[in-house]
Amino acid sequence: MFLFIPDVSSEQSTSSASEQVQSILGNSGLNCLINNAAIGFSTNISTVTPEAMMTMFQVYTVAFLPLLQTAAAKSGDPGMGFHRAAVINMSSVLGSITLNCRDTAKFRSYVYCTSKAALNMLTRCLAADLEPSKILCMSLHPGWVRTDMEGPHADLTVEQSVSGILSVLFGLSERDNGMVKRICCTEYFTDNADSFLKKRLIADALNMA
């Protein structure tokens, strides 16, 4: 596994990262691209600016598409999925129009929410365009995770979130192409040994629109 952290608002930076990846992979292509770029800041109707909106929309990129196409073409495996070639866009429930209405719309960040909603539509469009090449494309909400962006009071540790993500990735197939899903939901259960409520990770993906 190789980690690259380009400035995704810079075309030169993303192109350079793509070239670095190609130099490592050679002619084999790239099997999975996880787009995990985001900027977290709160805005409302009184504070949102055009500049803030554009900054957020610039953080998504598809510079690695040729490498994905190479991997898909070279794969001898049938169907679609993580094993062949896939684009995973890290999204959020805050981009869901269905889940953010009336009393549930408590986090009013115009910039963040609209960019994630746009990302979900981008996922649908890419899925349709890339399907002939057998490249799967889907959006995934990793849960509320204890990161620098979300803080220490979030539900899940990074390890729990990653475990859920991997569980979903390795189970992807044609039916998931173009889907927007959330994972790492939690529920509470009682351990009879000590009668304390404990948190359990649910790895199953749930549809989110």
What are the tokens at 26? 């050679």
List the 136-141 sheet strands across, edge first: 32-35, 86-90, 136-141, 180-182, 206-207
User: Which of 75-79, 98-102, 174-178 is least confident?
Assistant: 98-102
pTM exceeds 0.85, yes or no: no
Distance CA 192, CA 189 (A): 9
Could you report the per-residue pLDDT of 120-151, keeping only the tens digit for each?
Answer: 888 898 899 999 999 999 999 888 888 887 78
Element of type H or E holding 47: none
Indicate the number of domains in the chain.
1
Could you report the per-residue pLDDT of 106-119, keeping only the tens digit for each?
Answer: 666 777 888 888 88
CB 149 within 8 A of CB 40: yes
Question: Looking at the domain assignment, is residue 118 inside a domain?
Answer: yes
Q: At what angle do helices 11-25 and 65-74 cross, to 10 degrees?
A: 30
CB 197 within 8 A of CB 188: yes
Question: Looking at the domain assignment, is residue 51 inside a domain?
Answer: yes
Question: Looking at the domain assignment, is residue 5 inside a domain?
Answer: no
pLDDT of 30 higher than 70: yes
Question: Looking at the domain assignment, is residue 1 inside a domain?
Answer: no
- What confidence category does residue 204 fall into, taking pLDDT thresholds of 50, 70 and 90? very low
- In sequence order, the β-bridge partners of residue 197 are 190
Question: Looking at the domain assignment, is residue 180 inside a domain?
Answer: yes
Distance CA 162, CA 175 (A): 22
pLDDT for residue 17: 82
Question: Looking at the domain assignment, is residue 76 inside a domain?
Answer: yes
Question: Looking at the domain assignment, is residue 4 inside a domain?
Answer: no
CB 89 within 8 A of CB 60: yes
- What confidence category does residue 88 fall into, taking pLDDT thresholds of 50, 70 and 90? very high
The domain containing residue 16 runs over which residues?
A: 11-207
Higher pLDDT: 86 or 122? It is 86
Question: What are the E-state strand segments in the chain?
Answer: 32-35, 86-90, 136-141, 180-182, 185-190, 197-202, 206-207
CB 181 within 8 A of CB 175: no
pLDDT of 104 higher than 70: no
Question: Looking at the domain assignment, is residue 6 inside a domain?
Answer: no
CATH of the domain at 16: 3.40.50.720
